[in-house]
Structure 1
Amino acid sequence: MKSAACLSAVLIAAMAIGLPGCASEASGPQTATASEAAAETRMVEMDGAQIRVRLEGPVDAPVIVLLHGFTMSLESWDGWAEQLSGDYRIVRYDLLGHGLTGPDPLARYAPDERVAVLGRLLDALDIERATLGGNSFGGLVAWRFAAAKPERVERLILVDSGAYSIYGVTEDPVPVPDAMRGYLLAAPLAGVQASAMQIYADPTRLPEGRIEQIQQMMAQPGNGEAFIGHLEEFVLPDPEVDLARVTAPTLILWGEEDRVIPLDHARRIEAAIPDARLITYPGVGHAPQEEIPAETAADVRAFIEGSGQ
């Protein structure tokens, strides 16, 4: 049995992209990022929730929908949006209980509920079919959606994605220790910085101010309670049958220095999905789209163009 402190660290990382930066009272970013200024950002109402969505790129271009990881926000994809929005319609959003979307009045935080919400959001945005990508927990939601709704997914891109059981999480959630609850509610700076060292192989690759930006998103009112609700419903049942149902051509991108999800899981996902290929990156951690956005976006472009737009 792991100690509460160890389990807290594990749960921060497990199926998440986790937590660089934090503070206790920030209410949100004070200035718009360059990508935000150049993009259309809207709030999509869904059963009382207001989901923050960002759209950029030509409206008639092939659509790429991107899902971030646990505790993060749509800014996790800024690098890819910069690299790809000249030729593709990039759509990304803050998951319920994250970023500026904030907590869900209906507390739809279980993985299957998030899959259903994704489908409804695509409907609201008049997106019938798209390339779907996700990092970590966002990858888990993406491939589950692709398995459930294959007619809606042109291609699938999984970046250090959740799938197989880790750290004791199976078809049953792992109890959330008090230390973890306190962390997510207060987001102490030292703890968030320590988590960044686990998530990113080289945090110096991140843009200046990225740590503070993540902190501000984590510290939005109600997000801490939503993070706890997420963990209380977070499960990882055996994925083999569902992965085998994914029919979309699939690109798997993985940092070889990922300390959250073992590299072996990338190979298992590749073997389980019928039409999948894997690219790994030496010296890169759990969020390659943030550490090496230009290189990973180039691989995405080659994948899409090679499989036909």
Structure 2
Amino acid sequence: MKHSETLTPPRPADVLRVRSADGTMLHAEVHGPDDAPTVVLSHGWTCSTLFWTPVLRALGPDLRVVLYDQRGHGRSETPRRGGYSTTALADDLCAVLRATVRRGTRVVVAGHSMGGMTIMAAADRPEFRTRVAAALLASTGSRELVPAARVMGGPSRLRSALHRALLAAPLPLGPVTPLTRAGLRYVTMAADAPADMVDLCVRIVHACRPVPRARWGSVLMTLDLSGSLHHLDVPTRVLAGTADRLTPPLHAHRLAEELPSCEDLVLLPGVGHMTPLEAPERVCEVVRGLVHAHLTAPGTADGTASPLKEAG
């Protein structure tokens, strides 16, 4: 497959409108055959289903992949002012699981950044516990996001103030220019990230609506999911880029230590925060490893019987 083709999303097999607990309507889509093992992908702050395109392409046609837009992102509705919380994130993931995963079937869930936080927040829900066999947490953290961020330099107090302003500013990002492109690449990706992936990142982030972006940023500023981690007792793998400025690897190490059933900690040298864009093949490899180990290995009861090709 040509590199440019990895940036064009395939046509979904099905498109759904999913109603969350508070009535917010979510855009969801399903790719791949109905009888294949299922993977559910949850994107991060300021992104959309488009963000998963390189990983979706790398996963290939022999998996059933569910994507959805977080509330206020992409084609999902913008919630009312009170509709921004980790509880709402968990509600949305559970609504998507109910709508796309039949009873008696288990899936692998993977979340990037705020998508990983979504998985942590939903870990104690019945819909999650009865449908999820294993999880991937990519480029994410459970708490202290602002103090740990390394986007800005300077004294810690000034650095935290600048990071808070970056998260919660409700201003439009404006047109894409060489300056805004360079700034977004610096914040979110490694210096040698492929140019076409940087362009895709810029396109996705600039499309995020300013008000939801700022309100979700305010949630992230005070995020603390420490109490949720012990509920995430399914086999879990943690992945992070060593050049991540937004959620530096200390978060990944902390998650690996605190999760009840962490199988592996995967560190990608020289990769920034946008791991599914910067290293889609590696993300795919970890996801397929979870599928092979927990959905298709002998003795697993996932409700599907389709064999998988080995990654790579």
User: 1:267 is matched with which residue: 253, 273, 277?
Assistant: 253
Letter in 1 for 2:41: L
Matches within 5 A, 1:275-290: 275-276=261-262, 277-290=264-277
2:194 to 201, 204, 209: 204
| Conserved? CA contact 1:146–1:156, under 8 Å | no
Does the CA-based 8 Å contact 1:95-1:101 persist in structure 2?
yes
Equivalent positions of 1:24-103 (< 5 A) are 34-37=8-11, 39-46=13-20, 49-103=24-78
Given candidates 98, 109, 128, the residue that maps to 1:132 is 109
2:169 corresponds to 1:181: yes
Alignment of 1:112-191 (within 5 A): 112-128=87-103, 129-148=106-125, 149-168=128-147, 177=165, 181-183=169-171, 185-187=172-174, 189=176, 190-191=179-180
Unaligned 5+ segments in structure 2 are: 1-6, 149-160, 297-312
Compared CA separation, residues 42 and 36, structure 1 to 2 (3 A): farther
**Residue of structure 2 equivalent to 1:304:** 291
CA distance in 2, matches of 1:115, 1:48: 14
What is the aligned-residue RMSD (CA, Å)? 2.8
Measured after TM superposition, the shift of residue 51 of structure 1 is: 1.6
Report the TM-score, using the length of structure 1 for normalisation: 0.76
User: Can you give the 5+ residue segments of structure 1 that lack an aligned partner in the other structure?
Assistant: 1-32
One-letter code of the match for 1:131? V
Q: Look up the SS of the partner of 2:234 in the other structure.
A: coil
**Which deviates further from its counterpart, 69-78 or 223-232?**
223-232
What SS does the aligned partner of 1:203 have?
A: coil
Q: Which amino acid is the alignment partner of residue 50 of structure 1?
A: M
Q: Deviations over 1:264-285 (max 9, x none)?
A: 2111101111221111111111
Letter in 1 for 2:194: T
Residue type of the partner of 1:115? A
Letter matched to residue 246 of structure 1: L
TM-superposed deviation, 1:303: 2.9
Deviation at 1:70, TM superposition (A): 0.4
8 Å contact 1:159–1:287 — kept in the other structure? no
Q: Partner residue of 1:9?
A: none
Which position in structure 2 is the counterpart of 1:251? 237
Letter in 2 for 1:302: G
- The one-letter code of the counterpart of 2:137 is L
TM (norm. structure 2) is 0.76
Q: 2:207 maps to what in 1?
A: 217
Deviation (angstroms), 1:289: 1.4
CA distance in 1, matches of 2:283, 2:87: 28
- 1:13-51 CA-to-partner distances (Å, cap 9, x unmatched) read xxxxxxxxxxxxxxxxxxxx7424354333334455332
Aligned residues: 267
> Once the two structures are superposed, what CA deviation does each residue of 1:95-118 show, in whole Å capped at 9, x if it has no partner?
001112241246522111110122
- Percent identity reads 25
Counterpart residue type for residue 225 of structure 1: V
The structure, 1 or 2, with the larger RCO (C-alpha pairs under 8 Å, 6+ apart) is 1
Q: CA separation of 1:36/1:108 partners in 2, compared to 1, >3 Å: closer, same or farther? A: farther
Q: 1:207 to 1:179 in 2, by over 3 A?
A: closer
